[in-house]
Structure 1
């Protein structure tokens, strides 16, 4: 049998780096498993009834693994909320980019993105509602939700201001943007409640009808009815 030549200084063993990358990937994978299991538990049981044991069982991991990654239920929940906030922010910012430079196409892209199945589904809507219900008494939750809302709201206000200048509308951009955001949140709540008469498709159509009512020079109703949901 041929004996392998010994490695020289110019031939470093790559296995330690590969092993470290593998351990890092495994750690990130497990963290993501636990966060997804937390979202599932919040949707199924609610905030107060979710336990570390529920999350471990849902992820198919040992309870020791949960404690190793997050140490406490509160840290697990904060990480989950941070993940959801980051996911939503990345989602709407990507939609805004795809909307181009015109305010009308930007706003249409943002509104349509709010009903994309990747973020607008029963489990995530229920998880959001669980966190919103606790945010009043938990400053950390307020900070995470508030940062998400503030950036999004400022963008909507700016778009409404530009639409007003273009269309000669008489509305106030701030209150119009506030009403639009409240309407979208209300539709999310209807979808989370699971009423049969409100589907994502119907909710999106209602949102576009609202745009056609507030910005008639930019969104003809025939156009609003033709929008398809992802």
Structure 2
């Protein structure tokens, strides 16, 4: 009995240690992508950034490509969890959910210079790396479909003269464009980007939203 009790915590400890190490390496990869870009990120500087040995990196991820795929998967999952949580906490109306989604894109949890730069590094490689496109494809589709559904609901409620799918594409493209501007570091701040996004959706849905919130 005592032996069994001693073994179980040890297994949990090893699992926790593995997850902790992997997370350290993923965070160090994000740092390296933001600082050096995709091509100049190496296993060596990731190991240095995480303050771990090169052997630890190889043990957990085996290659740079596997580490980068794991990092992209982590970022995609984090982003999806973030906007889904925003929807879950939003006011139940279509306008409330639209407001929550737009605000979520500029939350400081995910909209940071560091993470935006890492996203930019991955997007620059996506065209030549189908694995990256496949990783984010389902998440991107779910995100856009959430906007399509909201646009359809708001059209039905407000009698707006637009087609839901093109309107949703326009909103998603506007949000992505603001992220790209933030990546360019041309003086645009996260706060100003959010104001611009709110101005846009308030103009599109004037019977539901204003720059101050829900009507």
Which runs of 4 or more aligned residues in structure 1 lie more than 3 Å from their structure 2 counterparts after TM superposition?
none
> What is the aligned partner in structure 1 of residue 186 from structure 2?
195
Shift of the alpha carbon at 1:190?
1.1
Q: CA deviation at 1:187?
A: 0.7
Query: Matched residues in 2 for 1:220 and 1:32: separation?
Result: 40
What secondary structure, in the 3-state scheme, does the structure 1 residue paired with 2:139 have?
helix
1:147 pairs, out of 117, 138, 141, with 138
Q: CA distance change for structure 1 residues 12 and 68 in 2, over 3 Å: closer, same or farther?
A: closer
| Corresponding position of 1:35 | 26
CA distance in 2, matches of 1:142, 1:33: 25
Tell me whether 1:108 sits opposite 2:99 in the alignment: yes
Normalising to structure 2: TM-score of the pair? Answer: 0.96
SS of match in other structure, 1:170: coil
Kindly state the Cα deviation for residue 13 of structure 1 after the two structures are TM-superposed: 4.0
State the 1:100 CA deviation.
3.2
User: How much does 1:211 deviate?
Assistant: 0.7
Q: Given the alignment of the two structures, is residue 168 of structure 1 paired with residue 168 of structure 2, yes or no?
A: no
Name the structure 2 match of 1:6.
none
> 2-side partners of 1:109 and 1:124: how far apart?
21
- Rounded to whole Å, the distance in 1 between the matches of 2:78 and 2:11 is 27
Residue 6 (structure 2) aligns with: 15
| Partner residue in 1 for 2:89 | 98
Report the counterpart of residue 210 of structure 2 in structure 1: 220
Q: Deviations over 1:40-66 (max 9, x none)?
A: 000001011100001000000000000
* Total equivalences in the alignment: 214
Distance 1:98 1:13 in 2: 42
Quick one: which of 192, 199, 207 aligns to 1:209? 199
Give the superposition deviation at 1:101.
2.1
Q: Please give the alpha-carbon distance, in whole angstroms, between the structure 2 residues aligned to 1:212 and 1:82.
A: 33
Q: Does 1:87 align with 2:73?
A: no
| Separation of aligned partners in 1, 2:207 and 2:55 | 59
Matched with 2:63 is 72
Supply the distance in 2 between the matched residues of 1:91 and 1:220 (Cα, whole angstroms). 24
**Stretches of structure 2 lacking an aligned partner (at least 5 in a row):** none
47-56 vs 11-20, greater mean Cα deviation: 11-20
Could you give the per-residue CA deviations for residues 97-135 of structure 1, whole angstroms, max 9, x where no partner exists?
Answer: 111321100010001000001100001001111111111
- The structure that has the greater radius of gyration is 1
